Chains A and B, each alone.
Chain A
Amino acid sequence: MQTHTQTVAIPELAPNSAAAPEQFNKGRGHSSALNCRSVSTTAAKASENTEPVPQTRLAAPEDYREYFGVPPRTMAPAAFNQWARSITEAVNSELDQAALPTGERDLFREGMNVALMVLSMPGGGTVCI
């Protein structure tokens, strides 16, 4: 298998930024670098993941959040916006390498910037695009 040199910085959720930061800092095999469940594809294949995940219950929304490393709805807007900005930067640094359909790179870049503008609006207001 070809080795990819990973240069993009994957932002993490600042431990003190969440409304309920403990949600990010507990859990099975948690990766502070990714802020999501520490599962590498190699580990997944070899079933060597750090701690067993309970199989006695169905997957729940917190599993989704933890797996993908996304904040809960209860996160304070300012902290969420900070996270959103870091995600946008990470996407921007990767976009030129991505094989997207024609025109989608610019569309994506602009759309993420519009999203940041919307999120930074206090309560109401209109975004001019």
Chain B
Amino acid sequence: MTGTDGDFALNIRWRLGHRAFEVVLAALIKTLGLATEQLVAGDYPALCQSMATAAQLLASATCAMHFATDFDPDIYRGEVRPTMEPPNMPPGFSGTLNQRHAEFLQRYRSFETTIKIQFGNQLETAPADISAAWKSVVKMRSKSLAAHGLVCEKFVPGGESLLEQHVRKEKDKR
């Protein structure tokens, strides 16, 4: 862990890591769009290459997450998290506000649906190299999701996200 002060953690890890994540997301959006076109066109060699690229980018997204959170959880709770809470931010600040991530999810789901329509839910009718490339994408996506879960647990053990906190407070008011 290298983050030893709040401003370093905020700017050189938390924000820079999220910006790197944004770069990776933009590349993933483009790659998945391309992969969908290649799938529809039946250009399987190019499709395999695009899926390999997507898997590598997903692995990088996990690295970006680790980089962004490479600082002490106490600094997160005491100094970084408050920068995303009222009065510094309107209530309900959340990663779900990331529009590139929303677009990535849309592309990912669209590609997943298309490839399953083409080759079956388990890709049982797909050529072996396509099936292997897709498995690699799914594996990297799972690793990325698991890493996100671990990061949340590291910083706010068993805790609520800011959005969940806001929703609960609003319910309590009623």
A55 beta carbon closer than 8 Å to chain B: yes
Q: How big is the B interface, by class? A: 35 or more
The docked-state distance in angstroms from the alpha carbon of A94 to that of B68 is 11
Interface residues of A, CB < 8 Å — how many?
A: 69
The docked-state distance in angstroms from the alpha carbon of A90 to that of B63 is 15
Within 8 A of B (CB), among A89-129: 90-91, 94-95, 97-101, 104, 107-108, 110-112, 114-116, 118-119, 121, 124-129
The docked-state distance in angstroms from the alpha carbon of A23 to that of B20 is 20
Neighbouring A residues of B30 by C-beta, 8 Å: 118-119, 121
Q: How many A-B residue pairs have CB under 8 A?
A: 209
B26 contacts which of A47, A52, A80 (Cβ < 8 Å)? A80
Within 8 A of B (CB), among A30-86: 34, 36-37, 39-42, 44-45, 47, 49, 52-61, 63-65, 67-73, 80, 84
Could you tell me the dominant secondary structure of chain B's interface residues? helix
In the complex, the chain A residue whose C-beta lies closest to that of B90 is A59
Residue contact A45 to B79, C-beta cutoff 8 Å: yes
**Least distance between A129 CB and chain B CB atoms (Å):** 6
Neighbouring A residues of B97 by C-beta, 8 Å: 59-61, 63-64
